[in-house]
Structure 1
Amino acid sequence: MAETISSFWGPVTSSTECCEKNYANSSYIAEFYNTISNIPTIILAFIGLINALRQRFEKRFSVLHVSNMTLAIGSILYHATLQRVQQQSDETPMVWEMLLYVYILHSPDWHYRSTMPIFLFLYGAAFAVMHSVFHLGIGFKVHYIILCLLCTPRMYKYYIYTEDVLAKRLAKLYVATLVLGSLFWLGDRLFCNEISRWPINPQGHAFWHVFMGFKSYFANTFLMFCRAQQRDWSPKVVLLMGILPYVKIEKSKRQ
């Protein structure tokens, strides 16, 4: 919700705002609920990181969980300040994260192991520079959607070749949280004028953050299961405290 207001962070300079009243709860936080709603993502990514390190998964998964945390922290900075410079700290990690997914999903088929990681790294660095200089708007969104579409067929292929019922459930939870989060995001964007007249704002964008945190966790866990199968690590999905699924593996002594 755009407002002309001066606060601790100064006037709003970001090119995009959500349907939450600015500085309604604190003069230090522009969008309070959109800021704190990133905390579940950080917690879930930290749990995933601990699991990846403890069981000695490949470093790519540790980097992926760290990228989830980095994205959430960038989103906190952006929504807390609504400054253009912090907007980059939210949007650029979104692209970097998708490049990591491209790498993890497609790396088993690469014949030249070092070529694609180097290309993706340089591509991500070039995008960061371009986005910082030119402040890509619709171009950023289209670019992000294209990267998501590049991952979709491969994700579906992993799903149909997975026989484990609990692993398939992870993929279904990934899709369900993605769809629900997207619906909340669309509602917040499309019906902001109507929502602004309601006595209580449902905070659709904040729910988007929460659902995206779970979406990333379920996607990462599913991909860890698939990779463990490729490496013959006898993966199985178990529940942490009977609630949160994670992947448990059994490596051979030689590994």
Structure 2
Amino acid sequence: MATTKEHWPHFPFIPYPPSKAGYWSPVTSTLNWCEEDYYATPYSAEIVNSLTNLLFLWLGIKGILNIRKHGHDSVFQVAFAGYLLVGLGSFLFHSTLKCNGIDPMQLVDELSMIYTTCLMCYASFSYSRSTPTRVFLALALAGLAVFITLYYHYLQDPVFHQNAYALLTTVVVLRSMYTMEVALRPKWRKSREEDRLAREKKGLPVLSKERQEYENQRDIKTLKTMWFMVVFGLSMFLGGFGIWFLDNQFCGTIRQWRQTIGLPWGIFLEGHGWWHLMTGFGAYLYLIWGIWLRHILNERQDEYMLSWPHVWSFPEIVRAPIKKNL
């Protein structure tokens, strides 16, 4: 490590221990990421890739508790349980890297992402539909999840999983973006104006002009915040994917850099760990966005609000203070 001292004299560091056999050896998984194996502890094959999944576990529990406390739709509690399962499966997979073929923990990690996305797809497309339509959609998505599970197990090709997940996520996000625009942007709400005129003709109560103006301003403000959440969440996903891609393509070079700068600085060059942190936050942000959108669709927007003090904090949807009606 003399070279390290010459090039980085102002950095206190610990030389990287060599990779070695560990408690779960040998590594038999179809995937082995760029992090050196068992260099920190014999009980975790990839220590950084394992510990970064604790974000999923913490945010999953945080989301479930938030739903129970504030009375959000129960479908999101199931979604957060799936989110938590993704983190648990990934933690166990990166800790062991075990099994011939595809690791069962790898399947839990990756297929939980599919199941959670299918659940969000159901939440997005089933809203305000008839019972037969909701039953058909549930059966169709369950069948799709079973097909992806069986076909992935047959192929044992992670590229199939990645493509399936990307396609499902794109469909769900685009549908939710469309629903958000139609529900909130005043110019797309002609049906509400038509409904107001129809109610006037029937002698039924309608919104005052003051109330309508208040709702329009409120919804535009909400829409701007929700679009920020969308852009920020997608940026986290795409940024995490970019780091993950570079980590795969230039693994040899990155390992040399880590050996040069030593510990703890080398931890910041663990690209797959950054992928976990960035996609974990991006997925959490999407679930919070979905909860807020559901309250808007239920016309309970004044009852709930977004609590997000800082962009680096973790947002929540909470009950709003009671306001006097206009």
Q: TM-score range by the shorter chain?
A: 0.7 to 0.9
Per-residue CA deviations over 1:43-89 (Å, capped at 9, x if unaligned) read: 11211111111122221100011111000000001100112232212
Return the letter of the residue paired with 1:37. T
Matched, 1:248 2:318: yes
Q: Determine if contact 1:23/1:30 at 8 Å carries over to the other structure.
A: yes
How high is the sequence identity, in percent, across the aligned residues?
Answer: 21
Deviation string for 1:2-34 (max 9, x for gaps)? x99643112111111211001111111000000
Residue in structure 2 matching 1:127, options 145, 148, 158: 148
User: In the alignment, which residue of structure 1 is the partner of 2:112?
Assistant: 93
Matched, 1:154 2:175: yes
Structure 2 equivalent of residue 170 of structure 1: 229
Which stretch of structure 1 is more off in the superposition, 54-63 or 173-182? Answer: 173-182
Task: Let me know the Cα RMSD of the aligned residues.
Answer: 2.6
Per-residue deviation at 1:124?
2.0
Query: Is the counterpart of residue 15 in structure 1 residue 30 in structure 2?
Result: yes
Q: Is the 8 A contact 1:41 1:212 kept in 2?
A: no
Secondary structure of the structure 1 residue equivalent to 2:77? helix
How big is the shift at 1:104?
Answer: 1.8
* Cα distance in structure 1, aligned partners of 2:274 and 2:289: 22
Whose Rg is larger? Answer: 2
Q: Which residue identity lines up with residue 221 of structure 1 in the other structure?
A: I
Cα distance, 1:149 vs structure 2: 2.5
Contact 2:36–2:46 (CA under 8 A) maintained in structure 1? yes
| Structure 2 match to 1:105 | 124
Q: 1:185 aligns with which of 221, 233, 244?
A: 244
Query: Partner of 1:76 in structure 2?
Result: 91
Give the structure 1 partner of residue 70 of structure 2: 55
CA distance in 2, matches of 1:70, 1:240: 28
Partner amino acid for 1:182? F
My pick for the range that moved more, 39-48 or 108-117, is: 108-117
CA distance in 1, matches of 2:243, 2:167: 21
| Deviations, residues 194-227 of structure 1 (Å, cap 9, x unaligned) | 1111124400110110111111111011111110
Give the distance between the partners of 1:174 and 1:65, measured in 2 at CA.
17
1:72 is paired with a residue of what secondary structure? helix
Out of 287, 295, 305, the position equivalent to 1:236 is 305
Letter in 2 for 1:248: V
SS of the residue 1:113 aligns to: helix
Which sections of structure 2, spanning at least 5 residues, go unmatched?
1-17, 185-219
Q: Distance in 2 between matches of 1:212 and 1:137?
A: 17
Query: Are the equivalent residues in 1 in contact too, given 2:19–2:37 (CA < 8 A)?
Result: no
If the length of structure 1 is used for normalisation, what is the TM-score?
0.88
Q: Which residue is 1:224 aligned to?
A: 291
DSSP 3-state at the match of 1:188:
helix
Deviations 1:110-130 (Å, cap 9, x if unpaired)?
441222112222332343344
Residues 167, 141 of structure 1: alpha-carbon distance in 2 compared, 3 angstrom cutoff:
closer
- The aligned amino acid for 2:122 is Y
Q: Which runs of 5+ in 1 are unaligned?
A: none
SS of residue paired to 2:307: strand
8 Å CA contact retained: 1:52, 1:61? yes
Query: In structure 1, what is the Cα distance between the partners aligned to 2:150 and 2:238?
Result: 31
Amino acid paired to 1:196: R
Please report the TM-score for the alignment, with normalisation by the length of structure 2: 0.70
Q: What is the rounded CA distance, in whole Å, between the counterparts of 1:239 and 1:149 in structure 2?
A: 25
Contact 2:19–2:39 at 8 Å: present in 1 too? no
Structure 1 residues 116 and 185: alpha-carbon distance in aligned structure 2, compared to 1, 3 A threshold: same
Residues 1:116 and 2:137 aligned together: yes
State how far apart, in whole Å, the 1-side matches of 2:115 and 2:296 are.
Answer: 26
User: In the superposition, relative to structure 1, how do residues 14 and 32 fare at CA in structure 2: closer, same or farther (>3 Å)?
Assistant: same
Separation in 2 of the partners of 1:183 and 1:134?
A: 26
How many residue pairs get aligned? The number is 250
Residue aligned with 1:123, SS: helix
User: SS state of the match for residue 80, structure 1?
Assistant: helix
